[in-house]
Chains A and B, each alone.
Chain A
């Protein structure tokens, strides 16, 4: 009997944790299917006849598809180039114990983005690179590169040295062993770093707010501009919010274990 009560109490605690976290998402989702009349209704409506009009408006009138493509181009490219630079760097830090280098890159992850943004703005303007993919990808790489190095250096450390050494005994150089043997073994770590760095690039707002205009506008900027109009079309805004967050949430569901590892790795290592 006592065990039974404990179980129920525990269940109530879990509900008390999950519901407040989940509720804003549920409300966003349901509002995205409401008409403006239902949204401004008081008391708030729990039961309503759903409409797809909001999504139609967002994708047909607001050019959202284009911003989706922009965010994807910028996210994928910045992750790709960061992997090219970050994987060897992380390997070197892990294998040669380059602590100072590790700290240098950690600090890049911690510094406020705005302290680089003003110089970038001036330099990119001079180079006529404002509103270009180059500027956006370069700036987003400063988000993705430190995340990739940070996650991968701890991952490479878990891979035993003997694995690459046995290849080197067979005459392969260390760089060859890195490419042919270490990288394939490190695949789970690479997936973690790709997922997490892509999500952080996808969610970034500040860099695009300054460096991009119409041509390279990303989704966070698009939704922000969306509410700057006088009368807020809440249904469409919520539909846009759902559409922006869906890819990151789907990625998280697929790679849940990796995302948790990636977010907590550095901190627990101490």
Chain B
């Protein structure tokens, strides 16, 4: 009985260590350790298929990858895909949130519809959009012809593949920004609006001078969150094009995946992974800083 009570008080005194410990150990083992391992591998020329023992080449893997045109293009594509998708999602998402930010009968239903793309399996979504994009039987080209526009090759051509993939991302993730902004808007106080109306401000002035500044922290967080996820986009690109046609839709994530699990050039794959990792880490630290500054 006494020993049981002692154990209880020991746990209670060290609760702040004992309670988080399993989760922390798990994340260290499953995330931190693998990342360090990858970092270590990025200084080697390890190739799983060559059968050669791995040797340290220090920065020459970096030099080789960074000079490769395929890498430079993948880096550029990662940025252009992300910029295209996230900028449109932000504008649409904000506009939709402003429209829905009032009481009306079908509000619950509308919000439910907005949730559906968010919870759908990206691979299945990608494959379904491949049917919409199909040049001969697809719905998208049917709609274009109905509007009197020429047919497009969509994901089939190097010039349209990135916007076509971004469109899927926009369809799936715009509601995310809308929903975040809706709860951001709902948490605003009414006072500034009332006094602005008394002063005879127009709707546009109210949005620009009152609403936008007040929701800016939430909006920025939403944008950074979306940017991080867009930089990492894998499922829809891999399922829809596999990085093709040619390398036309190969982003860093896809390139790293192919280097690792198709060519088994682990050393060079690690370099790409580390660069992607640093990119996302930089964005994540931005979010962390923002959270901190907001709590002040």
Contact = CB atoms under 8 A, between A and B. Distances in A.
Interface in A234-270: 234, 237-238, 240-241, 244-245, 248-249, 251-253, 256, 259-260, 263-264, 267-270
Nearest to B11: A175
B121 A245 contact: yes
Interface stretch (A47-55, A62-70, A96-104): A96-104
A259 B119 contact: yes
A43 B20 contact: no
Contact of B110 (A17, A209, A269): A17
A115 B273 CA distance: 6
A24 B128 contact: yes
Given A119-B38, A249-B119, A268 B187 contact: yes
Contacts, number: 278
A208 B27 CA distance: 19
Contacts of B290: 270
A37 to B, nearest CB: 11
B116 A21 contact: yes
Nearest to B256: A114
A260 B30 contact: no
A112 B11 contact: no
Nearest to A20: B171
B23 A85 contact: yes
Interface stretch (B64-72, B176-184, B200-208): B176-184
Nearest to B139: A44
B144 to A, nearest CB: 12
Interface residues of A, number: 95
Interface stretch (B81-89, B156-164, B280-288): B280-288
A101 B123 CA distance: 33
Contacts of B175: 21
Contacts of B180: 263-264, 267-268
Contacts of A119: 33-35, 37-38, 41
B106 interface: yes
A243 to B, nearest CB: 9
Nearest to B12: A173
B277 A249 contact: no
Contacts of A234: 131
Q: Which among A22, A43, A227, A264 has the highest number of chain B CB atoms within 10 Å?
A: A264
B235 A206 contact: yes
Interface string B117-157: 11111111101111110001101001000000000000000
Contacts of A21: 113-114, 116-117, 171, 175
Given A18-B110, A142-B30, A244-B124, A174 B20 contact: no
Contacts of B136: 40, 42
Contacts of B12: 173-175
A199 B117 CA distance: 12
B104 A10 contact: yes
A175 B114 contact: no
A89 B30 contact: no
A96 B17 CA distance: 10
B212 interface: no
Contacts of A43: 142
Nearest to A31: B131
A22 B110 CA distance: 10
Contact of B276 (A31, A115, A203): A115
Interface in B12-48: 12, 15-16, 18-20, 22-24, 26-27, 30-31, 33-35, 37-38, 41
Contact of A174 (B15, B125, B137): B15
A91 interface: yes
Nearest to A93: B20
Contact of B112 (A174, A209, A253): A253
B94 interface: no
B96 A17 contact: yes
A116 B34 contact: yes
A84 B22 contact: yes
Given A205-B235, A268-B183, A118 B273 contact: yes
Contact of A270 (B100, B123, B291): B291
Interface stretch (B55-63, B189-197, B218-226): B218-226
B198 interface: no
B248 interface: no
B269 interface: yes
Interface string A146-190: 100100000000000000000000000111100000000000000
A259 B31 contact: no
A110 B284 contact: yes
A110 B73 CA distance: 24
The 3 closest A-B pairs by CB, nearest first: A119-B34, A88-B19, A92-B19
29 contacts: A14-B99, A18-B113, A21-B113, A24-B128, A40-B136, A42-B137, A88-B22, A95-B16, A104-B24, A110-B287, A115-B38, A116-B34, A117-B260, A119-B38, A145-B27, A149-B23, A173-B11, A175-B8, A202-B121, A203-B122, A206-B238, A210-B261, A241-B121, A241-B128, A248-B119, A249-B120, A252-B112, A263-B115, A268-B184
